[in-house]
Amino acid sequence: MVEVTVTPQSSLADRPVQIRVRGLSPSQLVTLRAWLKDEQGERFQSRAFFRADGAGEVDPGLHAALGGSYSGVWPMGLLWFLQPDTLFRRLVKRDVAGSPFRVRLEVLDGLSLGTDPKEQPLASCEAERWYVGPGVQRVPVREGRVRGALFLPP
């Protein structure tokens, strides 16, 4: 049974996570795809092609991506190389304190170039990427022409 995990499942957006796939056949070619929808409903996705090791595992922190959105060893590549489905869109988080980005990670059999999110994955999981830690207080700043926000730790 194929399994993909993200550790930790919930984390701050600037913290590293470990992505691992287990249960593949040795040397099996797979596509790891990450995607999310932003607050406007726009989809962003990335993909990387991997060959499983002798134990049937893929770890983007140890194994080089053979192609896709990036190539080489990039432990966080699936999250760093998210691209919009619609040209000229930017991934921006407006509600930083109220909700996380929910990133869906999927393992697809073979080399998958399609953009259809309905492709049947071998395994999938979800990761939460928060922009504000627990207990952080957001204070709006309005002084003269200056506008912004001050984030105070607990």
Question: Domain of 23: which CATH number?
Answer: 2.60.40.2240
Q: Which domain holds residue 44?
A: 3-152
Nearest to 78 by CA among 11, 3, 18: 18
pLDDT at 117: 60
pLDDT at 89: 94
Which amino acid would we find at residue 88?
Answer: F
pLDDT at 153: 92
Backbone angles phi, psi at 52, to 5 degrees: -65, 150
- ω into residue 8 within 30 of 0, thus cis? yes
Q: Where are the alpha helices (DSSP H) in the chain?
A: 77-80
Of the pLDDT bands very low, low, confident and very high (cuts 50, 70, 90), residue 55 is very high
pLDDT over threshold 90, residue 68: yes
pLDDT over threshold 80, residue 6: yes
Least confident of 3-12, 59-68, 86-95: 86-95
Per-residue pLDDT tens digits for 99-138: 999 999 999 999 988 766 667 899 999 999 999 999 999 9
CA-CA-CA-CA torsion sign (60, 38, 10, 141): positive
pLDDT at 97: 86
If one counts the domains in the chain, the total is 1
Nearest to 108 by CA among 68, 61, 49: 49
